[in-house]
Amino acid sequence: METILSKLPPIFLACHLLWLLATADTLKMEDCAPKQCGNNTISYPFWISGQQPSYCGYSALEISCSGGKPFLVQSYNSAYYIKQLFYQNSSALFGDMLVDVITGNCSTPQFNVSLSFGPFVISSTNKLMKFFWNCETVPKFSSDFYSYPCGSNESYVRIYESYTQEDSEDNQTSCSISKVPFLGSNGGTVDQSLSLMKEGFLVTWTVVSCSDCQASNGQCGFNSTNSMFMCICSDGTYPTSCPKNRNHGKTGHLEAIIPGSLAGAFLLIMALVIFLKLQRKYNAQENIEKLLKQYGSLAPRRYKYYELKKITHSFQDKLGRGGFGTVYKGKQSDGRMVAVKFLHDSTSNGEEFLNEVVSIGRTSHINIVSLLGFCIEGSKRALVYEYMPNSSLDKYLYSENPKTVLGWEKLYEIAIGVARGLEYLHRGCSTHIVHFDIKPQNILLDEDFCPKIADFGLAKLCPPKESVLSSMADMRGTIGFIAPEVFSRGVGVVSTKSDVYSYGMMMLEMVGGRKNLKPSAQNPSEVYFPHWIYDRVAEGGDIAASDMTNETAEIARKMALVGFWCTQTIPANRPSMGRVIEMLERSLDELELPPKPYITSPRQSMDLEPYSQHSVDTISVQSIDSTAPLSNSEPSDGLR
């Protein structure tokens, strides 16, 4: 929509502003025009809530139109309604719903009908009906009265010709008394008294006259700010009436019509653009709700944004920040600790986000981080994961503090755990998932250092029984871990083998990071990672420190060999994750040395923060069009 606005000539914008100023008061006049509610025409000093703005009448005379009856909102229990309006003498016939619902012979209203709101007065034209009930003794009336049974005691009714008429002897009885005004003739029986009450009663009101304003073609209104009458005219509001002699001739009309027409056309265009935008937004939201109903109990819990704000204590404890989101530590009402990841610039389609959330949420594996829920509100996207107290693997690989360095046995367990998690994603799910961002920063560790694969921001879904992705659009990954076929189409197809490559690079970092070598060279990373390790393994040299035992040295060598197999340039030459697990569980003597991979060193990331707090470089297939040299080696299973 901003693009359309930027292309419109400035004259259109100027005309539009002038037209809005000129029509603002006209819209007020139209808002305050008389409205129908049933058989009654509602106009000043009354106004209908929900249909008219409050300045169209007195605040105390607010009408609620329900079932064709205009009810007075500020009356007791909103029970009074207008039967008929007489604007010429400022009077109205009111009905009382509490009276209307009385049925049967016991027709005593045990309440007074009175007015204590607005500019109303019960007209003296009304007659008065007095009811005496719950009498302890029989009252001694000097004039006529009617009795009838109602409740445990006898009840009585007296009818007076005027509402203002009183009889002092009425107050000397031992009865409860209620008064009801009504119009009509005297009634001689209980049934007649009930019908007379339901005819209603007459009221009058006193407000500032509207006649002068109406005579000047204005609409009457009320300014609640200063409690003053106002006359709404086509060119503004005035105290009593619209000014005269405002017609400047045909020229003035033409001057108003031309810019008004241009502004009207502009407004139509704007309205159409806004409508289409809102319609797309509404349809997208509607589709999201349909998908949620379709998934039913299979979908993870859906959080509201305000709930996540409360859980994270207004985002106070930041665990990390990456290229796709920021992670905060939170605590649910049940005491469970969680990690809440808010995605940056979430312009992705809500349906695609929800499909991925549901697919990942349906995974259940000890080496996959548990997705507890999600949030999708407008452009806001968030994921709620279980909290991992030992942070991520990179914290232990690159640490200078010996206390935070993991032993080779634990690294080996972590390597197998990650492999099992990837095997589950590739083969164990009903919908195969390619992660596309396997690296130490995305391997979280629980309290027992059990590894869990996290951060599915780049993950892609494969159809069942397939492991090859048909589309390579918008595929990304982290420099140093991304497989060559992802950014170079001459290498091979993108598939689950792309995750195998990333896993292999991570394995080599686990081996290299554990040794923490710092050889002196112009480009130390090229010497160290991974060519130096390959050359040492090929020559039969040690790749571990001299103080290592034979068992730990064998673990390091085995992990390096598996890493070399996984980082073969041609995807077909890499083992599947199932084969990787077999290789890790075999003895070192059963593993072959693969051809030397053609790979460049990943960036050696030192002092990395947990949960991908550092900003990791990513690349897209649309930005690189290179082709890596292909290996002529035949595919092998890596075993002798």
The pLDDT of 412-418, averaged and rounded, is 97
For the cut 90, the answer to whether the pLDDT of residue 113 exceeds it is no
Per-residue model confidence (pLDDT) at position 477: 72
Residue 90 identity (one-letter amino acid): S
Contact 219, 114 (CB under 8 A): no
Predicted confidence at residue 133, as pLDDT, reads 81
In the chain, the percentage of residues whose pLDDT exceeds 90 is 25
pLDDT of residue 606: 33
Residue 211 structure tokens: 């006649």
Straight-line distance from the first to the last Cα atom of the chain, in angstroms, rounded to the nearest whole number: 64
Per-residue model confidence as pLDDT tens digits over 503-530: 999 999 898 875 434 444 444 444 445 6
How many whole angstroms separate alpha carbon 252 and alpha carbon 26? 17
312 vs 550, more confident: 312
- Catalytic annotation on 437? yes
DSSP state for residue 529 in the 8-state scheme? I
Instruction: Name the percent of the chain lying above pLDDT 70.
Output: 72
Helix (H) or strand (E) holding 223: strand 219-223
From the list 196, 75, 83, 204, the residue with the least C-alpha distance to 130 is 196
* Per-residue pLDDT, 525: 41
User: Where does the pLDDT of residue 597 fall: very low under 50, low under 70, confident under 90, or very high at 90 and above?
Assistant: confident
Strands (E), 387-491: 432-434, 443-445, 451-453, 460-462, 476-478
Pick the more confident residue, 359 or 519. Answer: 359
CB atoms within 10 A of CB 314: 8
**3-state DSSP of 245-262:** CCCCCHHHHHHHHHHHHH
Q: From the candidates 96, 437, 455, 499, which is the catalytic residue?
A: 437
The residue-averaged pLDDT of 92-103 equals 83
What is the maximal distance between C-alpha atoms in the chain? 130
CA 607, distance to chain mean position in Å, is: 37
Quote the radius of gyration of the chain (alpha carbons, Å): 42
pLDDT tens-place string over residues 565-575: 999 989 999 99
Q: Find out whether 572 and 636 touch, Cβ atoms under 8 Å.
A: no
Using the predicted structure, report yes or no on whether residue 625 has a pLDDT greater than 70.
no
**Cα 574 to Cα 214, 502, 606, distances in angstroms:** 89, 11, 28
Is residue 183 packed enough to be buried (19+ CB in 10 Å), middle (13-18) or exposed (0-12)? Answer: middle
Structure tokens at 269: 């265009």
> By the 8 A CB rule, do 449 and 410 touch?
yes
Instruction: Please classify residue 32 by burial: count the beta carbons closer than 10 Å to its beta carbon, then call 0-12 exposed, 13-18 middle and 19+ buried.
Output: buried
- Which candidate, 126, 130, 56, places its Cα nearest to that of 94? 126
> Residues 278-298: what's their mean pLDDT?
71
pLDDT score recorded for residue 82: 92
Region 484-513: mean pLDDT is 88
* Domains of the chain, start order: 25-223 (no CATH), 293-386 (3.30.200.20), 394-620 (1.10.510.10)
- How far is residue 28's CA from residue 14's CA, in Å, rounded to a whole number? 22
What is the reported pTM? 0.53
Ranges 314-323, 411-420, 503-512: which has the least confidence? 314-323
Q: Which of 94-103, 401-410, 441-450, 624-633 is predicted least confidently?
A: 624-633
Residue 630 pLDDT > 50, yes or no? no
For residues 533-545, average pLDDT:
76
Residue 492 · residue 506 · CB < 8 Å: no
Q: Are strands 228-233 and 69-72 parallel, antiparallel or unpaired?
A: unpaired
Q: Which residues pair with 380 in a beta bridge?
A: 377
Mean of pLDDT over the chain:
77
Provide the CB-side half-sphere exposure for 596 (13 A, CA).
Answer: 12
Closest CA to 488 of 569, 434, 600: 569
pLDDT, one tens digit per residue, over 421-457 is 999 999 887 778 888 899 999 999 999 999 999 888 7
The reported pLDDT for the residue numbered 609 is: 35
Q: What is the pLDDT of residues 117-137, one digit of tens each?
A: 678 888 888 888 888 888 877
Confidence category of residue 384, pLDDT binned at 50, 70, 90: very high
pLDDT grade for 138, boundaries at 50, 70 and 90 = confident
Q: What whole-number distance in Å separates Cα of residue 528 and Cα of residue 398?
A: 14
**Angstrom distance (rounded) from CA 275 to CA 279:** 6
pLDDT given for residue 43 in this prediction: 92
Which residue, 255, 208, 226, is CA-closest to 61?
208
Least confident range of 482-496, 518-532, 593-607: 518-532
Q: Taking 50 as the threshold, does the pLDDT of residue 293 lie above it?
A: yes
DSSP labels, 101-142: T--SS-----S-----STTEEE-TTSEEEEEEES-SS----S
The mean per-residue pLDDT over the stretch 198-216 comes to: 89
- 341 annotated to bind ligand: yes
